Amino acid sequence: MSLDIYKKGQATRSRATAYVILGLLALFGGWACHAEFNTVGRGVGLPIHSSVSNLPLVGALTWMKVIGFGVFLAGLFLVHLFLNKPSHADLLIDTEQEMRKVSWPSWPEVKSASLVVVVVTFVFGMALFGFDKLLQGLFSFVF
């Protein structure tokens, strides 16, 4: 098990994006673990030692904070192993290469296409509203 980056220098944007998104997921896991242990009567909310009771940005260092941070670090390690697996790294490399080939529309094209979508959606919505009112009137007259 090597911690070196597989095919270093390739697909840096897609890898960075994947690291950030999955790192946020690991952070949420550590936070959720901290919240799970942060209940009265579990004993893990007690300070580790009286000398570490007022740390900057952390406050009192408790076992629940250490466990949550450990879960976060383990999650980051697993994210690194997952993203450096050759099949996953090759997928990210291929994805970034294909995204460079895409012809992205200009801003005026995006605005005109969005306007067409809004107008057509409004027209279809009004048509459905009209058909609904027509059928309601027809059924209330018949029944």
More confident residue, 42 or 5: 5
Read off the pLDDT of each residue in 115-130 and give the average, rounded to a whole number. 98
> In a 10 Å sphere around its CB, with 0-12 CB exposed, 13-18 middle and 19+ buried, how is residue 36 labelled?
middle
Q: What letter does residue 47 receive in the DSSP assignment?
A: B
- pLDDT tens sequence across 36-91: 776 655 555 565 665 566 666 666 777 778 888 898 999 999 998 888 888 888 88
Give the Cα separation of 63 and 78 in Å (integer). Answer: 22
Contact 67, 35 (CB under 8 A): no
Mean pLDDT of the chain: 83
Give me the pLDDT at residue 65, please: 80
Nearest to 104 by CA among 113, 91, 92: 113
Q: 12-16, 37-41, 57-61, 99-103: which has the minimum mean pLDDT? A: 37-41
H-assigned helices in 5-106: 12-37, 63-83, 86-101
- pTM given for the model: 0.59
Phi-psi region of 4 (alpha: psi -120 to 50; beta: other; left: phi over 0): beta
Give me the pLDDT at residue 141, please: 81
